């Protein structure tokens, strides 16, 4: 894996890897699977794991399957904490069922935090779920926008530089939704 630093005099101390895969199901729903794992390069004392987590051994490992519909509503969520440093960690799995019925849309993270209180949850599962929401959007949008929905207002319009309704890509790919920039009074001076 290539990163940006070219400094040869550094020592790896920590590694985290997160993967997402999006699937279209035969019943018309979508599954997003997430996998989170990390490790350290030094031994870590850990009473709940037999006294020590050895260097290079997986410290955390978590899995997620989120099922959504075409409207980005979470219809099912299964989380599993496979590896963890503390015996209490797996108890956090149950509270994430409270996310079912939540729509992935503006305000998603805020509503997620309201439905799943931090003291009952797991910070790593929060991260995994928020990333899965992004992966869900990319999975569904790829099919809905590029295959089925030409002529329908694209969901990501005005959400980033590339999707600026007054930008080059929108003008080229979605001309019906292109809106030229209006000259502001500052620009006229």
Q: How many other CB atoms are found less than 10 A from the CB of residue 67?
A: 19
**Domain assignment of residue 2, yes or no:** no
Given a contact cutoff of 8 angstroms between Cβ atoms, the answer to whether 45 and 133 are in contact is no
Same-domain status, 46 and 126: yes
What CATH number has the domain bearing residue 119?
A: 3.30.390
Q: Which of 151, 179, 154, 184 is nearest to 165 (CA)?
A: 179
- ∠ CA 153-154-157, rounded to 5°: 105
Q: Which residues pair with 79 in a beta bridge?
A: 64
What is the Cα–Cα distance from 120 to 113, expressed in whole angstroms? 11
Query: Measured between alpha carbons, how far is residue 83 from residues 53, 86, 154 in Å?
Result: 11, 9, 40
Read off the pLDDT of residues 110-132 as tens digits, 9 standing for 90 and up.
999 999 999 999 999 999 999 99
Same-domain status, 93 and 174: no
Q: Which residues pair with 31 in a beta bridge?
A: 23, 67
Give the structural domain span for 47. Answer: 14-149
Read off the pLDDT of residues 134-184 as tens digits, 9 standing for 90 and up.
999 999 877 766 655 666 777 778 989 999 999 999 998 888 889 998 876
- Altogether, the residues listed in the chain come to a count of 189
**Domain assignment of residue 32, yes or no:** yes
Same-domain status, 30 and 105: yes
First to last CA, the chain: 50
| Predicted TM-score (pTM) above 0.85 | no
Same-domain status, 113 and 26: yes
Query: Measured between alpha carbons, how far is residue 66 from residues 17, 52, 54, 173, 184 in Å?
Result: 19, 33, 32, 31, 44
Same-domain status, 25 and 47: yes
Helix (H, G, I), strand (E, B), or coil: what is residue 141? helix
Beta strands 14-24 and 58-68 are: unpaired
Helix (H, G, I), strand (E, B), or coil: what is residue 53? strand
Residue 130: the pLDDT is 96
Read off the pLDDT of residues 29-55 as tens digits, 9 standing for 90 and up.
999 999 999 999 999 999 999 999 999
Residue 143: the pLDDT is 72
As for how many domains the chain has, the answer is: 2
Same-domain status, 75 and 167: no
């Amino acid at each position: 894996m290539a990163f940006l630093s070219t400094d040869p005099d550094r020592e790896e101390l920590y590694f985290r890897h997160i993967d997402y895969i999006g699937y279209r199901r035969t019943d018309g729903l979508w599954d997003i699977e997430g996998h989170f794992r990390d490790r350290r390069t030094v031994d870590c004392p850990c009473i709940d794991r037999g006294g020590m987590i050895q260097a290079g051994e997986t410290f955390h490992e978590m899995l997620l399957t989120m099922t959504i519909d075409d409207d980005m509503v979470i219809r099912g969520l299964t989380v599993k904490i496979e590896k963890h440093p503390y015996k209490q960690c797996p108890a956090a799995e149950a509270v994430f069922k409270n996310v079912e019925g939540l729509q992935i849309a503006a305000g998603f993270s805020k509503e997620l935090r309201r439905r799943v209180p931090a003291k009952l949850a797991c910070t790593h599962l929060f991260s995994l779920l928020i990333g899965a929401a992004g992966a869900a959007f990319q999975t569904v949008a790829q099919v809905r926008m590029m295959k089925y929905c030409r002529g329908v207002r694209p969901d990501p319009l005005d959400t980033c530089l590339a999707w600026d309704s007054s930008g080059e890509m929108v003008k080229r790919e979605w001309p019906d939704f292109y809106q030229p920039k209006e000259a502001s009074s500052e620009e006229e001076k």
